[in-house]
């Protein structure tokens, strides 16, 4: 039997001004305000793993404030995500700011528990260290996943100051732990100087293909989309987005900015082109509001999250319809047999 419950959507902006009230993402209900949920947006205010400018611990609250103007219908995808699925704001996962190991373990535990309550989690960081425990949690449900990693940087380095878990190492650790599909993972938007050519050799060995910012500039966004889709295929897909994949002109509020990045429009276009892929989770990280101006970075991040939620909501709705059709077919078969 199909689920006839109507999702609880955002606060009505014609009754309650957008600048009023508690800032949940897109003014959605909190998870405790609904009986069940399909998609949870959760913050992880942690930035102890950064190697340069700090402040991403304030990212979740900044992105929530920046999301107040989002509306219920997404015309670019022709989907009303908050009507297609029950989307909620699940608050923040607390993480020990003085102990990276304890923080990572706690994030994994909390994300695993949240994943048992909802079908999809979209995380707002926080620095990119959090991708490792999130991938560990996803792996428990889906096994090794394709990772589509939007970032100025590879994040497959080995250590910083001897520390193996930082915001520059999550995907090396994930590859070593068998969390990612080595045949289907890809970086998008990488650019800027590296320590040596060995960085690229190591990255390929760890299971990543690269669509760099130069590739996008020279061959165009449609070619980049084609390469990504061919690489990922039909594998379970985890999308990890460091906001510094955008050029600093579009996202100045981040910890390790690099010139020559993607535009907001290019990033949103690429995400919308993934609507038929099997997306099982996502994160948006490295928003550091102390370096933001006029909410440029927060607004970009909130729209990226909105597109991710829309993709997932459409999948939830399609799965619900398919499940209802299967159930109806079983009823019909039983009636014929009876």
Q: What pLDDT is recorded for position 192?
A: 95
Work out the mean pLDDT of the chain and round it to a whole number: 95
Block residue for tokens 């994300």: 111
CA gap 180, 174 in Å, rounded: 6
Q: Is the pLDDT of residue 331 over 90?
A: no
Residue 321, pLDDT > 90, answer no
**What tens digit of pLDDT does each residue of 84-132 get?**
999 999 999 999 999 999 999 999 999 999 999 999 999 999 999 999 9
Sign of the torsion angle spanned by Cα atoms 306, 240, 228, 212: positive
User: Which pLDDT tens digit goes with each residue over 187-236?
Assistant: 999 999 999 999 999 999 999 999 999 999 999 999 999 999 999 999 99
- Residue 56 in contact with residue 290, Cβ under 8 Å? no
pLDDT at 325: 74
Q: What percent of the chain has pLDDT over 70?
A: 99
Percentage of the chain exceeding pLDDT 90: 89
| pLDDT band per the 50, 70, 90 thresholds, residue 3 | low
Nearest to 156 by CA among 224, 217, 202: 202
Closest CA to 243 of 310, 167, 159: 167
pLDDT in tens, 129-184: 999 999 999 999 999 999 999 999 999 999 999 999 999 999 999 999 999 999 99
- pLDDT tens by residue, 272-284: 999 999 999 999 9
Q: Which of 313, 308, 322, 321 is nearest to 118 (CA)?
A: 313
Q: Is the pLDDT of residue 326 over 90?
A: no
- Rounded distance between C-alpha atoms, residue 173 and residue 50, angstroms: 16
Interhelix angle 100-115/131-142, rounded to 10 degrees, is: 40
Half-sphere exposure of 127 (CA within 13 A, CB side): 27
Residue 1 has pLDDT above 50, yes or no: no
Q: Are 295 and 243 in contact (CB under 8 A)?
A: no
- In the predicted model, is pLDDT for residue 2 greater than 60? no
Edge-to-edge order in the sheet of strand 120-125? 87-92, 39-44, 120-125, 279-285, 237-242, 146-150, 185-188, 208-211
Residue 222, pLDDT score? 97
Whole-angstrom Cα distance, residue 43 to residue 63? 9
Residue 271 pLDDT > 70, yes or no?
yes
- Are 48 and 97 in contact by the 8 Å Cβ rule? The answer is yes
pLDDT at 4: 60
pTM confidence score = 0.95
């Amino acid at each position: 039997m199909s689920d006839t419950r109507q999702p609880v959507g955002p606060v009505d902006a014609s009754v309650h001004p957008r600048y009023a009230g508690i800032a949940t993402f897109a003014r959605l209900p909190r998870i405790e305000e609904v009986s069940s949920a399909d998609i949870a947006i959760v913050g992880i205010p942690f930035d102890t793993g950064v190697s340069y400018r700090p402040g991403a611990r304030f990212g979740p609250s900044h992105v929530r404030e920046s999301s107040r103007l989002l509306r219920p219908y997404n015309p670019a995808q022709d989907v009303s995500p908050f009507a297609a699925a029950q989307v909620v704001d699940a608050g923040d996962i607390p993480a020990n700011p003085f102990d990276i190991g304890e923080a990572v373990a706690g994030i994994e535990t909390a994300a695993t528990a949240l994943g048992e309550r909802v079908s999809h989690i979209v995380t707002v960081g926080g620095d990119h260290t959090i991708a490792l425990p999130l991938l560990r949690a996803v792996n428990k449900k889906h096994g090794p996943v394709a990772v589509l990693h939007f970032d100025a940087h590879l994040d497959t380095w080995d250590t910083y100051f001897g520390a193996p878990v930082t915001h520059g190492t999550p995907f090396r650790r994930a590859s070593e732990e068998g969390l990612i599909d080595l045949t289907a993972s890809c970086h998008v938007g990488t650019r800027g100087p590296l320590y040596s050519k060995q960085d690229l050799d190591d990255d390929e060995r760890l299971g990543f293909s690269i669509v760099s910012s130069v590739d996008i500039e020279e061959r165009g966004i449609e070619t980049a989309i084609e390469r990504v889709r061919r690489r990922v295929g039909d594998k379970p897909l985890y999308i990890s987005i460091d906001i510094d994949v955008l050029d600093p002109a579009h996202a100045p509020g981040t910890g390790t900015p690099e010139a020559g990045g993607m535009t907001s429009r290019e990033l949103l276009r690429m995400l919308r082109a993934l609507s038929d892929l099997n997306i099982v989770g996502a994160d948006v990280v490295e928003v550091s509001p102390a370096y933001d101006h006029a909410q440029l970075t927060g607004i970009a991040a909130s729209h990226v999250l909105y597109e991710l939620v829309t993709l997932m909501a459409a999948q939830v709705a399609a799965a619900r319809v398919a499940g209802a059709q299967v159930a109806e077919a079983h009823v019909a078969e039983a009636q014929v047999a009876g």
